Structure 1
Amino acid sequence: MYITAFVVGILGGVHCLGMCGGVVGALTFSLEPRVQRSWPRMMLFQLAYNFGRIGGYAIMGALFGLLGAQLGSLVTFLPVQQALQVLAGVFMISLGLYLGGWWFGVVQIERLGAKLWSRIQPLANKLTPIKRLDQAWLYGTVWGWLPCGLVYSMLIMALSAGSALQGGLVMLAFGLGTIPNLLLMGVFAFYFTKLTRMVLVRQLAGLSVIGLGLWQIYLAWAVQV
């Protein structure tokens, strides 16, 4: 489960471009000129943003894992866990279809989260302009709540994890998988943007995520058999 979440984080880089590319670019260019001219300093700020974001993911994962555990305590947990695992697989297949450019239903799900984000976004605005690493970390924590179909699919997996700890670890593994892509966007924005807009790259990533979704569904079915 953790490996799957990590791999989805890596493969979701082409989706991260659309959802977070603008945020990363804005954060990079809003830093003080002395920070932008220093690669070590800029990298520290990029890491602070991203580890704050991953912390936000882990909090969400723990909450969803706890919710899943509470649901499981009401009925026999195994069937509930299997159903949630199948649902996570379906979400991943939908995400893979979106990444490949074949179906865009995930966009509708992201719009549902926009209402929550509209309430959280003012917290991020209060932290700007960012001049210190602790500000960057707090901004990243808020940024982690940005509506994203990729995150939602992983939250369903966290829901099926069985506990708050395991749910948090699922989202932690996913967040760690997204770090290379978002760091590349922050440091080599132009070149990375060009790569992730290639149709073949998007389709290969989409097919890979679809394969992982089918694998999750198979695992749920195999337990039952």
Structure 2
Amino acid sequence: MNVLNLLPVFLVGLAGSAHCIGMCGGIVGALSAAAAPRARPVIAIAVARPAGADKLLRVLAYNGGRIASYMAAGALAGGLAGGAANLLRLAALQVAFYWMANLMLLALGLYLMDAWRGLARLEAAGGVVWRRLQPLLKPLLPMDSPLKALAMGGLWGWVPCGMVYSVLLTAMLSGSALQGAAVMLAFGLGTLPTLLALGLLGARLRAAAQRRGVRVAGGLLVLAFGLLGLARAVNGLSLGWLDALCVTGHP
């Protein structure tokens, strides 16, 4: 799997990052609101970092932890699925996963456009998981240090999310733990610009990204990737240069 194959996955993350604002907006907003640690006057010439620099470090740490958890999940999915396929040689199972991955992209595209809310059940499950985890996360709140933000991001990356699960199916088809981690890294990097900006700009970006036009544009892009994948799956159809734009590799 080369960089060109990972570009569509990156674009899915980028296009779907408006959804990330709804899913992760609260926790990223908490990073913005957290008080920066006070400088300790150890020596007279000590200079405190600007408040903006502290906020940036916390936001980077949170997103680093979040993407690391995505990569761990991708490595697990790719390694287990690749090992099972090599052991059992079940080509039919690989084809089934390929169809599932692209159908999930269709569902995600429709969800982003608010045309179909079937994936909302996963988001509701995420809310339940978050409420149960909150008592365990008290030591990490407030997230007033990069270390706390890193730990919170690492935990938050495991909260159920329809968009993450859609791409995890692609990681399963990658064939190995390393490639599965690379798929999820590309996806996480795609979501990074929006969530970095959200952590620094807060409510101003949230209002802009939640506009219907933005969500529809992102949903249409993800929908197009899913349709390309399904078109390629029909009778093993090759789309020529468009094959490079398929998010999931053909089994």
Query: What TM-score do the two structures reach when normalised by structure 1?
Result: 0.89
Quick check: 152-161 or 116-125, which moved more? 116-125
Structure 2 match to 1:203: 216
Give 1:175 shift.
Answer: 0.4
Quick check: 61-70 or 171-180, which moved more? 61-70
Change in CA separation of 1:178 and 1:114 when aligned onto 2, cut-off 3 Å: same
1:126 partner SS: helix
1:174 partner SS: helix
1:105 partner SS: coil
Quick check: 178-187 or 209-218, which moved more? 209-218
Structure 2 match to 1:7: 11
CA distance in 1, matches of 2:235, 2:178: 25
CA distance in 1, matches of 2:169, 2:96: 10
Can you give the 5+ residue segments of structure 1 that lack an aligned partner in the other structure?
none
Please list the CA deviations of residues 78-119 of structure 1 after superposition, one character each: whole Å capped at 9, or x if unmatched. 443332122111111101101101000001233445565566
Between the aligned residues of both structures, percent identity stands at 40
Within 5 Å, give how 1:109-148 maps onto structure 2: 109-112=122-125, 120-148=133-161
Give 1:220 shift.
Answer: 3.6
Quick check: 48-57 or 116-125, which moved more? 116-125
Superposition RMSD in Å: 2.4
Q: Among residues 114, 117, 130, which one is paired with 1:101 in the alignment?
A: 114
Structure 1 match to 2:202: 189
Number of residue-to-residue matches in the alignment: 225
Change in CA separation of 1:113 and 1:72 when aligned onto 2, cut-off 3 Å: farther
8 Å Cα contact 2:16/2:163 also seen in 1: yes
- Counterpart check, 1:217 vs 2:224: no
Q: Among residues 38, 55, 71, which one is paired with 1:42 in the alignment?
A: 55
Higher helix residue share: 1
Change in CA separation of 1:98 and 1:165 when aligned onto 2, cut-off 3 Å: same
- Counterpart check, 1:17 vs 2:30: no
CA distance in 2, matches of 1:80, 1:198: 39
Structure 2 match to 1:177: 190
Give 1:123 shift.
Answer: 4.4
**Larger radius of gyration between Structure 1 and Structure 2:** 2
CA distance in 2, matches of 1:36, 1:146: 33
Can you give the 5+ residue segments of structure 2 that lack an aligned partner in the other structure?
39-47, 239-251
Please list the CA deviations of residues 38-72 of structure 1 after superposition, one character each: whole Å capped at 9, or x if unmatched. 22221111111101100000000011111211331
Please list the CA deviations of residues 149-190 of structure 1 after superposition, one character each: whole Å capped at 9, or x if unmatched. 110101111111111111111101100111101011111122
CA distance in 2, matches of 1:79, 1:174: 27
CA distance in 2, matches of 1:223, 1:65: 22
Query: What TM-score do the two structures reach when normalised by structure 2?
Result: 0.81
CA distance in 1, matches of 2:81, 2:134: 27
1:102 partner SS: coil
CA distance in 1, matches of 2:49, 2:226: 40
Change in CA separation of 1:10 and 1:50 when aligned onto 2, cut-off 3 Å: same
Within 5 Å, give how 1:68-107 maps onto structure 2: 68-107=81-120
Report the AA paired with residue 124 of structure 1: L
2:119 partner SS: helix
CA distance in 2, matches of 1:218, 1:93: 12
8 Å Cα contact 2:108/2:163 also seen in 1: yes
Change in CA separation of 1:164 and 1:223 when aligned onto 2, cut-off 3 Å: farther
Change in CA separation of 1:75 and 1:121 when aligned onto 2, cut-off 3 Å: farther
Change in CA separation of 1:170 and 1:142 when aligned onto 2, cut-off 3 Å: same
- Counterpart check, 1:154 vs 2:188: no
